[in-house]
Amino acid sequence: MVIGVPKEIKDKEFRVSATPVQAYGFVAAGHKVLVEKNAGIGAGFPDSEYAAAGAEIVDSADTVWAKADMIYKVKEPLEAEYPRMREGQVVFTYFHLAPAPELTQACLKSKATCIAFETIEKGRTLPLLAPMSEIAGRMSIICGAYFSQIHAGGTGTLPGGVPGVAPGNVLIVGGGIVGTNAAKMAVGLRANVAITDIDLDRLRYLDDIFGGTVKTIASSPAAIADYAAQADILVGSVLIKGAKAPQLVTEDIVKTMKKGAVIVDVAIDQGGAVETSHVTYHTDPVFMKHGVCHYCVGNMPGAYARTSSQALANATFPYAMKLVNMGWKKALASDPGFLMGLNAHDGKLTCAPVGKDQNIPCVAPESVL
Ligand SMILES: NC(=O)c1ccc[n+]([C@@H]2O[C@H](COP(=O)([O-])OP(=O)(O)OC[C@H]3O[C@@H](n4cnc5c(N)ncnc54)[C@H](O)[C@@H]3O)[C@@H](O)[C@H]2O)c1
């Protein structure tokens, strides 16, 4: 099989899907790897390391896409990439189709086999979303703390306070992987942390692991409104698998927040958990609305490209190997959790939540195997 590793083209996106370690793994298994020139440079992996691993360095993205049986990348295809997807090709990457009708249509039109990292399941977990959620969760507090500085427009409250001065308040809406990692960082900074979730078992787990250093709150509109009004940093981290995020923090709630409070809406890649959010980019990551700073970068982990590329490849590579060693049909048929990653094939949508959100007919993924 020919595996193509294109250079990411999203704004300030420096991650790469395969490091030289994974390139070597594919080559050792008898596959051919085409790496677009400088694809790994932003993550600290020069072409020479890929070449030493046995990959072929290719000058143009068009050639990589045209020659590859499987495109292995990081971010969802962007407009320039839509015409490069084609029938008979597997595209294995993040897609986040639910809030992106244009991309959904492009995938269907291309007839490519689109397998999305973020909807692959293992038990109750999303193993290919988890490493990026860990990074984005940890980053959310770094970003929130940075934009809390007075010169950055923040409240001027040091998250951890100092002896004699109370710490800042952090509200985390959604206590999954992002939320838990945000909490770890916020607790580490000694902030006053509250987490809301609708899953009481999850709140029990968080109560246990944090040993009383975070408040766990059953999610309700009233509770979110209450805690948001006190928050210096609010992290949006809810997820309903494959679907658009519920906008739990309404515009009316944002209006009640402190001037200079920071919202880090990590869930923006699924449309955002905050009504006033819209996607931003690393180049200009924040905007003010009702006196509240909104940080809504859809590809946060791209900022720590080296750690993120390694963490992502660790998680995606075993699945990528199955796809190229077994062929996508057998690989997906062998693992019902992997099958959940199939979002589109041969012009048919196979991800029910996307069909529901965009009012598009959808078929069961097993029906196309
Ligand atoms: N912006 C980025 O760069 C970036 C990076 C990684 C992940 N993400 C996104 O962050 C979001 C969270 O990811 P995750 O891995 O933590 O998901 P997760 O499934 O681990 O956690 C989501 C949590 O939200 C909770 N939830 C669902 N509905 C809720 C409600 N009404 N009220 C309160 N809680 C509710 C769930 O019970 C769950 O605990 C996803 O949208 C993911 O795509 C964004």
Question: pLDDT tens digits, residue range 170-214?
Answer: 999 999 999 999 999 999 999 999 999 999 999 999 999 999 999
Quick one: which atom of ligand 1 is closest to the CA of 300?
3
| Pick from 118, 115, 116, 146: nearest CA to 132 | 118
Kindly state if the Cβ of 242 falls inside 6 Å of ligand 1: no
Beginning with the edge strand found earlier in the chain, give each strand of the sheet holding 342-345 in spatial order: 56-58, 32-36, 2-5, 70-72, 90-93, 113-116, 342-345, 348-349
Kindly state if the Cβ of 219 falls inside 6 Å of ligand 1: yes
Domain boundaries, the chain: 2-120+305-368, 130-298
Kindly state if the Cβ of 49 falls inside 6 Å of ligand 1: no
User: What are residue 216's DSSP bridge partners?
Assistant: 195
User: What are residue 162's DSSP bridge partners?
Assistant: 165
- Whole-model pTM: value is 0.88
- Topology (CATH level 3) of domain 130-298: Rossmann fold (3.40.50)
How wide is the angle at C-alpha 135 spanned by C-alphas 268 and 39, nearest 5°?
90
| Pick from 170, 176, 236: nearest CA to 203 | 176
269 is known as an active-site residue: yes
Per DSSP, 149 falls in state S
Taking the alpha carbons of 238, 243, 244, 249 in that order, is the dihedral positive or negative?
negative
- Ligand 1 pocket check: which of 132, 239, 270, 354 to mutate, most ligand atoms within 8 Å of Cβ? 239
Contacts of 275 (CB under 8 A, 6+ apart): 247, 249, 250, 251, 254
- Using alpha carbons, list the distances in angstroms from residue 262 to 155, 229, 348: 8, 12, 41
CA distance 23 to 43: 15
Which phi and psi angles does 93 have, rounded to 5°? Answer: -165, 180
Q: Please check whether the two domains, 2-120+305-368 and 130-298, share a CATH topology.
A: yes
CA distance 2 to 58: 13
96 is known as an active-site residue: yes
- Topology (CATH level 3) of domain 2-120+305-368: Rossmann fold (3.40.50)
Low-confidence ranges of the chain (pLDDT < 70): none
Name the catalytic one among 269, 294, 345, 357.
269
Kindly state if the Cβ of 273 falls inside 6 Å of ligand 1: no
Kindly state if the Cβ of 181 falls inside 6 Å of ligand 1: no
Contacts of 116 (CB under 8 A, 6+ apart): 93, 94, 95, 96, 97, 341, 342, 343, 351
pLDDT at 327: 98
Taking the alpha carbons of 124, 130, 133, 139 in that order, is the dihedral positive or negative?
positive
pLDDT at 241: 79
**CA 68 remoteness from chain centre:** 25
Share of the chain above pLDDT 90, in %: 96
**CA 196 remoteness from chain centre:** 20
SS3 content of the chain, % helix, strand, coil (to 5): 40, 20, 40
Kindly state if the Cβ of 246 falls inside 6 Å of ligand 1: yes
Which phi and psi angles does 342 have, rounded to 5°? Answer: -75, 115
- Using alpha carbons, list the distances in angstroms from residue 10 to 247, 255, 294: 25, 32, 20
Per-residue tokens: 66: 């045209």
Quick one: which atom of ligand 1 is closest to the CA of 179?
16
Q: How far is the CA of 171 from the centre of ligand 1 (A)?
A: 14
pLDDT at 151: 94
CB-CB contact of 182 with 235 (8 Å): yes
CA distance 210 to 183: 9
pLDDT at 117: 97
pLDDT in tens, 74-127: 999 999 999 999 999 999 999 999 989 999 999 999 999 999 999 999 998 999
Quick one: which atom of ligand 1 is closest to the CA of 301?
3
Kindly state if the Cβ of 270 falls inside 6 Å of ligand 1: yes
Quick one: which atom of ligand 1 is closest to the CA of 302?
3
